[in-house]
């Protein structure tokens, strides 16, 4: 992950130096998707206005749609749910019309996450079901683990603890089968937190620690820092 972030930063620097508008749109766009994957809200809040402004100025609607998705999700996750939801919905519809089915399943997971924050759990589940259908239809499993993890968060917020635990377990399994270590850790974070709040601190620790210990880099990323803090609480 550290190498991916460094490569993304380098691509933006080179695109700025080249003063080539299409290259900069490409660099900003894929950086936005990378920060969505890593849940780096600070980076998204800084980057997506640049992507949106650049695309509006030079006419890159495909990347503009992705910028709206990233901007909307980051706004909602940092407290502005209403405005964030507007940006996110607009971005998803534009993205779907321009890109077809490509990566729409991932953006629907972002939508479900925001609907969860809003407290509209039925709508959140419907978005996740739609996402899962697209994952199967297009054989695009990139965010399948995230679909199950967010499904667990929705169930947890709705007070459905067994359903949440089942969804988190499925998210861990899918990520592990895909060798997606970062997503496995993210799902384990959610599961361990639930177990800890239910009084199963040892079980939570024994679930999370072996996954965390497989990391050799990326210690500044959101998920690894969250795991570090949670493990410290569990050992206290």
Candidates 3.40.50.720, 1.20.58.1030, 1.25.40.10, 3.90.1150.200; correct CATH number of 139-236? 1.25.40.10
Residues 172-208: pLDDT tens digits? 999 999 999 999 999 999 999 999 999 999 999 999 9
Q: What is the mean pLDDT of residues 50-64?
A: 96
Residues 76-122: pLDDT tens digits? 999 999 999 999 999 999 999 998 888 899 999 999 999 999 999 99
Q: Residue 1 has what pLDDT? A: 67
- Domains of the chain, by residue range, sit at 10-100, 139-236
What confidence category does residue 57 fall into, taking pLDDT thresholds of 50, 70 and 90?
very high
CB atoms within 10 A of CB 222: 18
Residues 121-168: pLDDT tens digits? 999 999 999 999 999 999 999 999 999 999 999 999 999 999 999 999
pTM (2 decimals)? 0.94
Q: Residue 227 has what pLDDT? A: 97
């Amino acid at each position: 992950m550290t190498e991916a972030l460094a490569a993304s930063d380098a691509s933006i620097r080179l695109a700025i130096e080249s003063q080539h508008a299409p290259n900069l749109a490409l660099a900003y766009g894929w950086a936005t998707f990378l920060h969505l994957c890593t849940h780096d809200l600070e980076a998204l809040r800084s980057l997506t206005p640049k992507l949106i402004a650049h695309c509006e100025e030079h006419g890159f609607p495909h990347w503009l749609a992705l910028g709206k998705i990233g901007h909307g999700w980051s706004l909602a996750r940092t407290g502005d749910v209403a405005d964030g939801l507007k940006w996110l919905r607009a971005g998803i519809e534009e993205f779907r019309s321009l890109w077809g089915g490509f990566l729409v399943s991932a953006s629907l997971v972002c939508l479900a996450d925001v609907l969860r924050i809003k407290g509209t759990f039925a709508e959140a589940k419907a978005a996740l079901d739609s996402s899962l259908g697209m994952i199967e239809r297009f054989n695009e499993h990139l965010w399948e683990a995230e679909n199950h993890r967010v499904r667990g968060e929705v169930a947890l917020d709705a007070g459905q603890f067994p359903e949440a635990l089942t969804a988190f377990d499925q998210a861990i399994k899918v990520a592990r089968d895909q060798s997606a270590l970062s997503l496995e850790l993210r799902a384990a974070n959610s599961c361990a937190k639930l177990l800890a709040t239910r009084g199963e601190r040892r079980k939570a620790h024994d679930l999370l620690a072996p996954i965390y210990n497989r990391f050799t880099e990326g210690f500044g990323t959101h998920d690894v820092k969250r795991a570090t803090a949670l493990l410290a609480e569990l050992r206290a």
